[in-house]
């Protein structure tokens, strides 16, 4: 498979996943705020949501206050926000267009519909809060996964899509925990506020019910963090996502024609990361050390992404920067 | 439905033009009768609904072209008209023979001007016209191409005049586009007018991509036992990108950009996740100028450095070959009937539109005197750019073209303004006559010409306009070639 194609497939999946994760965080947050006691708590809450994409500074530079309407606008359709949901779906679609010949017609058509659905959202979509919009994006993203599973040959293209999706999901879960854990940790364990925080954190990962179904789980910070970080079967838990990345990398590696073996740095990086989590003693990092730990973890997930890019996407010869080629592409005469 | 609602209730006036559907006195031609019957039964509302259904299918399938001037690209679907154009089989059969003859002669011409140059030596065509053509490529002289095929894919544009006679208006031998619309229009029509397809025996066109793939493989370099073909696109920002990916999917070949390819030791490879893979045939949709920065324009990254050298060494086949543009130069076009006589010793089956070459003194004088009556075209432009439609132009525009023609005679030709045939077309809520042309796609393999029965009928949606190009507000229609079953039931 062409390197460029593999890269586009991977990013197509990442953008769809990211759009779903961000809208979920937005919707859960909105609902949690309905229970929040004070005005300033609300403001603080919105700020923590902005921290999720690391774009609080960009937001503050363009918006005066920080209220629901502004945050929604910023997250959903702000043309200057590269991680706005509309921008993410649009980029997913542009990547899909670039590999239109490699994905199924059903996948393309679905992504195309999703794009028009989020692009043509109107005020009515937000009249009752962001929930309806979230459902639209979530359904779109999850149906996309299903359609991909059901219509695309489970070959190399499929595995690059899985790789992108699970890598993104792992990194989103880590980010979310990083933002949320501080609030959780600030509360006295067992108080109603602490419990609400934990529930909201679980819901941000669609994990509340699965967590409840796990035998012996208590709504305590330790149990919740263990579930979201280290569970091996819950599909949004970090370790589980990394496992899926591993499956995809194994399959990609196995699809290589028989040649002299190349060092497999992505699999090495992933192996180290999984081992670290598998042998983690959670008590070592609970409490004030969690912040640093999650930061480090996020860095390693990003490093894994870099290794994948180096191994599979950038067999490019670096050419001296000439002018952008967009002008040339448009310039081609159509006979 | 009341009588007043019917599509044709308000009548239809073919005016003084040749109308594809109606004879004088507004009765439908026999091969159009079943269609006319079906349309007359439809109300405006029902027709509108079908139009909307078709449009939304085009939109969701991403059959769009993008205007990238705004900050975010505006996407539009190509206007598609639901009233199909119908051509009876005997009429088609003549077009088919005529184009096969024409394209065969054009390939002989290309092989000749890059080889022995007999036609020039024997004085059948002026040397400066050939060697001075903008798209003549000296780099190709003496380079053998597999099977002697230069133009593998040709799109020829035909028009009909007042009497209904067909003329070849131009041939496109570089990278003709639009065939995906021919195929997608057919899909849309089958969904919208399924019953009509039952009544007519419309000849199928769906095998076009397979035929094209056959041509690509048949022209592979000899060393390739199982040739690997790819489609080279300028990229997603190109307005024809949809077509590129459509054809690649239909043929089951990979679509690549210049940056995906690399040349090593005159062999072309693609960069894959598992290293370099050799490439044997490139169906390129990139202009000559952009193919290889080492040989042509140095300031572009769309192409592949070293591609020309690899091509000249015979390690890779390009479809179409480099330098085919010399044969679709609008001045060289004038000589196609002579080429047919010269190479094939046959009479041309399809006539050219009478053409005045500004490079000839007599013709130039005629052009300058009669510019208000003529269509003046720049020889190197396509897509409806660089042309003047005399009867529709202002005095100032005519004057500007006069000066251009005087200053650069080699660059201009002129043709009489043809009263192009018209076809009933749904515009602004009613059926009205609009001018049409017909692009037919010709596939050329070694010793074999294939034409799928159909084409792209392009229609000028603006009232009175003669310019059908999509970039100039044109739309398209499905084109049916119908066999004997037509009108039987």
Q: What is the pLDDT of residues A122-172, one digit of tens each?
A: 656 676 778 888 999 999 999 999 999 999 999 999 999 999 999 999 999
Among residues B219, B230, B221, the alpha carbon closest in space to that of B258 is found at: B230
Beta bridge partners of B435: B422
Contact A146, A16 (CB under 8 A): no
Between chain A and chain B, how many beta carbons pairs sit less than 8 Å apart? 131
Are B471 and A156 an interchain contact pair (Cβ–Cβ within 8 Å)? no
pLDDT digits (tens, 9 = 90+) for B363-385: 999 999 999 999 999 887 766 67
Residue for token digits 């959903």?
A: A76
Q: B66 — contact with chain A (CB < 8 Å)?
A: no
What is the model's pLDDT at position B159?
A: 96
Residues of chain A under the 70 pLDDT cut: 36-44, 122-125, 127, 258-263, 315-335
Contact B319, B283 (CB under 8 A): yes
Rounded-to-10 torsion of CA B356, B360, B363, B366: 140
pLDDT digits (tens, 9 = 90+) for B154-175: 999 999 999 999 999 999 999 9
Alpha helices in chain A (DSSP H): 3-34, 39-53, 56-62, 68-76, 85-98, 105-119, 123-126, 131-151, 156-186, 192-204, 208-213, 221-230, 238-254, 265-278, 290-308, 326-331
- Cβ burial B36-71 (10 Å sphere, 16+ → b, else e): beebeebebeebeebeeebbebbbbbbbbbbeeeee
How far B251 CA lies from chain A's nearest CA (Å)? 10
Decide: helix, strand or coil at residue B88.
strand
What is the model's pLDDT at position B192?
A: 87
**C-alpha span between B279 and B191 (Å, rounded):** 38
Q: B58 — contact with chain A (CB < 8 Å)?
A: no
ipTM reported for the complex, 2 dp: 0.75
**C-alpha span between B463 and B445 (Å, rounded):** 40
What is the model's pLDDT at position B146?
A: 93
Identify the closest residue of chain B to A156 by CA–CA distance.
B273
Q: B289 — contact with chain A (CB < 8 Å)?
A: no
Residue numbers in A near B187 (CB within 8 A): none
Over its C-alpha atoms, chain B yields an Rg (Å, rounded) of 23
Q: B260 — contact with chain A (CB < 8 Å)?
A: yes
Q: How far is CA B82 from CA B66, B192, B371, B425, B439, in A?
A: 22, 9, 36, 8, 18
Residue of B61, B68, B382 lying closest to A333 (CB–CB): B382
Are B271 and A259 an interchain contact pair (Cβ–Cβ within 8 Å)? no
Chain B, residues 387-406, CB within 8 A of chain A, namely none
State pTM to two decimals: 0.85
Q: B174 — contact with chain A (CB < 8 Å)?
A: yes
Are A259 and B471 an interchain contact pair (Cβ–Cβ within 8 Å)? no
Are B287 and A333 an interchain contact pair (Cβ–Cβ within 8 Å)? yes
Residue of B62, B235, B300 lying closest to A108 (CB–CB): B62
**C-alpha span between A300 and A154 (Å, rounded):** 28
Contact B95, B350 (CB under 8 A): yes
Q: How open is the CA angle B97-B456-B423, to the nearest 5 degrees?
A: 100
Among residues B249, B205, B206, the alpha carbon closest in space to that of B231 is found at: B249
Q: B241 — contact with chain A (CB < 8 Å)?
A: yes
Beta bridge partners of B284: B232
Residue of B172, B238, B270 lying closest to A2 (CB–CB): B270
Domains of chain B: 356-416 (3.30.1490.270)
What is the model's pLDDT at position A261?
A: 58
Q: What is the mean pLDDT of residues B424-444?
A: 93
Confidence check: pLDDT of B433 > 50:
yes
Cis amide prior to B124 (ω within 30 degrees): no
Residue of B249, B273, B300 lying closest to A3 (CB–CB): B273
pLDDT digits (tens, 9 = 90+) for B209-240: 999 999 999 999 988 889 999 999 999 888 88
**C-alpha span between B209 and B199 (Å, rounded):** 26
What is the model's pLDDT at position A158?
A: 97
What is the model's pLDDT at position A301?
A: 96
Residue of B241, B260, B286 lying closest to A2 (CB–CB): B260
Q: How far is CA A237 from CA A178, A213, A288, A323, B444, in A?
A: 14, 15, 21, 44, 57
**C-alpha span between B334 and B346 (Å, rounded):** 17
Q: What is the mean pLDDT of residues B445-460?
A: 95
Domain edges within chain A = 1-152
């Amino acid at each position: 498979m062409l390197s460029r194609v593999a890269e586009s497939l991977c990013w197509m999946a990442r953008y769809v996943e990211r759009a779903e994760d961000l809208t979920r965080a937005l919707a859960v947050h909105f609902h949690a705020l309905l229970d929040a006691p004070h005005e300033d708590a609300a403001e603080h809450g919105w700020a923590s949501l902005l921290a999720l994409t690391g774009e609080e500074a960009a937001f503050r530079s363009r918006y005066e206050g920080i209220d629901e309407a502004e945050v929604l606008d910023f997250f959903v359709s702000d043309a200057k926000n590269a991680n706005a949901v509309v921008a993410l779906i649009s980029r997913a679609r542009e990547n899909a267009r670039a590999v239109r010949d490699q994905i199924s017609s059903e996948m393309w058509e679905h992504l195309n519909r999703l794009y028009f659905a989020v692009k043509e959202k109107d005020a009515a979509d937000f009249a009752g809060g962001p929930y309806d919009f979230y459902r639209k994006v979530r359904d779109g993203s999850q149906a996309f996964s299903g359609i991909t599973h059901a219509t695309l040959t489970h070959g190399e293209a499929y595995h690059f899509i899985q790789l992108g999706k699970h890598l993104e999901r792992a990194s989103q879960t880590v980010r979310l925990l990083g933002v949320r854990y501080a609030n959780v940790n600030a509360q006295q364990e067992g108080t109603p506020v602490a419990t609400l925080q934990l529930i909201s954190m679980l819901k941000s990962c669609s994990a509340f019910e699965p967590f409840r179904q796990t035998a012996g789980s208590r709504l305590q910070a330790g149990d919740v963090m263990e579930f979201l970080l280290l569970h091996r079967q819950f599909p949004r838990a970090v370790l589980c996502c990394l496992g899926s990345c591993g499956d995809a990398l194994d399959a990609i590696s196995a699809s290589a024609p028989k040649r002299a073996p190349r060092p497999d740095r992505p699999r090495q990086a992933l192996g180290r990361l999984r081992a670290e989590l598998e042998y983690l003693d959670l008590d070592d990092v609970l409490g004030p050390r969690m912040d640093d730990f999650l930061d480090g973890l996020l860095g390693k997930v990003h490093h894994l992404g870099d290794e994948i890019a180096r191994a599979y996407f950038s067999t490019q010869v670096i050419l001296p920067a000439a002018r952008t080629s967009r002008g040339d592409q448009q310039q081609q005469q159509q006979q | 439905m009341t009588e007043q609602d019917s599509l044709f209730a308000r009548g239809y006036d073919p005016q003084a033009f040749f109308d594809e559907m109606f004879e004088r006195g507004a009765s439908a031609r026999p091969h159009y009768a079943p269609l006319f019957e079906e349309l007359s039964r439809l109300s405006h509302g029902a027709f509108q609904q079908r139009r909307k259904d078709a449009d939304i299918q085009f939109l969701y399938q991403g059959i769009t072209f993008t205007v990238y001037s705004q900050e975010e690209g505006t996407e539009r679907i190509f206007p598609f008209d639901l009233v199909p154009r119908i051509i009876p089989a005997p009429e088609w059969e003549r077009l088919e023979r005529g184009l096969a003859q024409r394209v065969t002669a054009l390939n002989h011409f290309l092989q000749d001007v890059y080889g022995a140059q007999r036609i020039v030596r024997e004085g059948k065509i002026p040397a400066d016209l050939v060697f001075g053509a903008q798209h003549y490529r000296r780099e190709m002289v003496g380079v053998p191409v597999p099977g002697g095929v230069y133009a593998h894919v040709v799109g020829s544009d035909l028009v009909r005049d007042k009497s209904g006679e067909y003329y070849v208006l131009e041939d496109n031998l570089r990278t003709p586009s639009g065939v995906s619309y021919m195929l997608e229009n057919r899909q849309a029509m089958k969904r919208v007018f399924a019953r009509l397809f039952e009544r007519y025996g419309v000849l199928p066109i769906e095998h076009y991509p397979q035929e094209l793939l056959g041509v690509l493989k048949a022209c592979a370099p000899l060393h390739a036992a199982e040739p690997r073909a790819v489609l080279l696109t300028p990229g997603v920002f190109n307005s024809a990108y949809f077509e590129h990916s459509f054809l690649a999917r239909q043929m089951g070949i990979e679509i690549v950009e210049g940056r995906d390819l690399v040349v090593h030791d005159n062999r072309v490879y693609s960069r894959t996740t598992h290293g370099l893979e050799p490439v044997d045939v490139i169906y390129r949709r990139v202009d000559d100028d952009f193919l290889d920065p080492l040989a042509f324009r140095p300031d572009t990254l769309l192409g592949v450095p070293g591609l020309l050298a690899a091509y000249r060494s015979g390690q890779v086949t390009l479809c179409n070959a480099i330098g085919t543009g010399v044969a679709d130069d609008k001045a060289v076009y004038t000589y196609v009937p002579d080429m047919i006589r010269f190479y094939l010793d046959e009479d041309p089956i399809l006539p050219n539109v009478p053409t005045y070459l500004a490079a000839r003194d007599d013709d130039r004088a005629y052009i300058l005197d009669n510019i208000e009556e003529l269509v003046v075209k720049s020889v190197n432009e396509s897509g409806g750019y660089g042309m003047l439609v005399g009867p529709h132009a202002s005095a100032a525009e005519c004057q500007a073209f006069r000066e251009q023609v005087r200053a650069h005679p080699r660059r201009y030709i002129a043709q009489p303004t043809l009263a192009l045939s018209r076809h009933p077309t749904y515009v602004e809520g009613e059926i009205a006559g609009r001018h049409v042309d017909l692009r037919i796609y010709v596939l050329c393999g070694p010793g074999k010409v294939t034409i799928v029965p159909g084409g792209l009928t392009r229609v000028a949606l603006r009232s009175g306009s003669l310019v059908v190009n999509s970039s100039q507000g044109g739309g398209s229609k499905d084109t049916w070639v119908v066999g004997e079953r037509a009108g039987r039931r």
